């Protein structure tokens, strides 16, 4: 939800025409009297006013705090269940190794949320290096979960390498978060910024969001349908970990559309831009619910199978 900080920052630095002395000097050079000056000032295009942040800015820090607490509780509970009943999870989909990695990633993600709550609610400035670490852990845990969820669909074909490949996918997720870390620091405000010198890294980060969060599950679904239609065995099998994509898929699309708008300016309609800004914020908030709903669903399904067994 860094778009709230970015919007407020933009409003304070771009739209404030009356406090810029250079602007007044420029106006004096082009205007000869008060009437001409007023006419020139009115020629400015009125900036778009976004309502998402002004509507939810008071509740976002509370939402992040509650999500952090529930996320830690849910993932710790999942870890305890895996420790107390290790044999029960051996035959589950996803397997015990994948569930441990999902729980660890969920805890890491939950621990990053208080930093964003402090930044949005109290304008707490974060040192650049710390900001990069926070964003690296946040998106690293998301990408690791996305890659691992897709990998669990192919678990039956992993064979003897099954413990190794999930760990490799999990580590690759954090490697894919390096661009997010590089572009996340601007004057103490811990937000992803599209600086000119880091523009290429911004594009890479958006590409990772789109591919891992939205396109990857679509590719696996099409592959599954194709292999199953051909009657081949060993095709990917979906499982409860795929709930992740229902939560974070819209955010991957929203980030891509936001970057596409920045790059191409394909729409200048303030109504469209406002809807896009709201879609970006709401999709991220919806995705955060997976931090605790995902582990609770896995626990519920596991206890159900144990009871029926």
2-11, 45-54, 109-118: range with highest mean pLDDT: 109-118
Cβ-contact 247, 286 below 8 angstroms: yes
Res. 84 pLDDT band, cuts 50 70 90: confident
The predicted pLDDT at position 266 comes to 78
The predicted structure's pLDDT at residue 150: 86
Task: Find the mean pLDDT for residues 226-252.
Answer: 76
Asked whether residue 21 is assigned to any structural domain, the reply reads no
Please give the C-alpha separations between residue 217 and each of 37, 152, 162, in angstroms, as whole numbers: 57, 11, 20
Q: Indicate whether 32 belongs to any domain.
A: no
C-beta of residue 166 within 8 angstroms of C-beta of residue 177: no
* Mean pLDDT in residue range 70-98: 79
- Where are any strands of DSSP class E within the chain? none
> Which tops the pLDDT comparison, 200 or 40?
200
Confirm whether 15 is domain-assigned: no
Q: Residue 61: is its pLDDT beyond 80?
A: yes
Structural domains counted in the chain:
1
| pLDDT tens profile 169-228 | 999 999 999 999 888 765 555 666 555 567 888 899 999 999 999 999 888 888 777 766
220 token code pair:
């696996």
- Per the model's pLDDT, the better-predicted residue between 269 and 122 turns out to be 269
3-state SS class at 39: helix
Residue 282: the pLDDT is: 92
Instruction: Label residue 121 by pLDDT band (50, 70, 90).
Output: confident
Q: How confident is the model at residue 92 (pLDDT cuts 50, 70, 90)?
A: low
Phi-psi region of 45 (alpha: psi -120 to 50; beta: other; left: phi over 0): beta
Q: Residue 136: which CATH number?
A: 1.20.1070.10
Task: Report yes or no on 267 lying in a domain.
Answer: yes
In a domain, 137, yes or no: yes
Surface-to-core class of residue 293, CB atoms within 10 Å of its CB (0-12 exposed, 13-18 middle, 19+ buried): middle
Instruction: Quick: pLDDT tens for 270-294.
Output: 888 888 888 998 999 999 999 999 9
What residues make up the domain containing 282?
Answer: 51-308
For residue 186, the cross-strand partners are 189
Residue 248 has pLDDT above 90, yes or no: yes
- Residue 14 is assigned to a structural domain of this protein: no
Asked, for residue 36, whether it belongs to a domain, the answer is no
> Is 42 part of a structural domain of the chain?
no
Average pLDDT over residues 50-76: 87
């Amino acid at each position: 939800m860094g778009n709230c900080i970015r919007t407020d920052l933009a409003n304070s630095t771009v739209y404030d025409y009356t406090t810029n002395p250079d602007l007044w000097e420029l106006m004096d050079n082009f205007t000869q009297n008060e009437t001409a000056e007023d006419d020139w000032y009115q020629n400015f295009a009125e900036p778009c006013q976004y309502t998402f942040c002004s509507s939810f800015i008071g509740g976002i820090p509370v939402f992040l705090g509650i999500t952090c607490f529930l996320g830690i509780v849910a993932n710790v509970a999942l870890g305890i269940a895996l420790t107390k009943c290790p044999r029960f999870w051996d035959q589950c989909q996803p397997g015990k190794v994948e569930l441990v990695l999902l729980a660890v990633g969920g805890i890491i993600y939950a621990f990053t949320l208080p930093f964003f709550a402090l930044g949005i609610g109290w304008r707490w400035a974060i040192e650049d290096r710390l900001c990069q670490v926070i964003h690296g852990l946040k998106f690293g845990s998301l990408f690791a979960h996305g890659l691992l969820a897709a990998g669990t669909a192919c678990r039956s074909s992993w064979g003897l390498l099954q413990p190794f490949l999930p760990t490799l996918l999990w580590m690759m997720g954090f490697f894919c978060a390096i661009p997010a870390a590089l572009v996340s620091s601007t004057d103490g405000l811990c937000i992803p910024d599209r600086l000119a010198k880091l523009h290429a890294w911004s594009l890479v980060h958006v590409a990772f969001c789109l591919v891992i969060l939205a396109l990857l599950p679509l590719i696996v679904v099409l592959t599954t349908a194709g292999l199953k239609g051909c009657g081949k065995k060993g095709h990917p099998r979906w499982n409860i970990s795929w709930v992740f994509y229902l939560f974070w898929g819209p955010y991957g699309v929203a980030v891509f559309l936001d970057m596409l708008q920045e790059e191409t300016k394909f729409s200048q309609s303030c109504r469209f831009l406002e809807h896009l800004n709201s879609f970006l914020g709401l999709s991220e908030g919806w995705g955060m619910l997976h931090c605790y709903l995902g582990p609770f669903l896995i626990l519920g399904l596991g206890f159900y199978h144990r009871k029926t067994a």
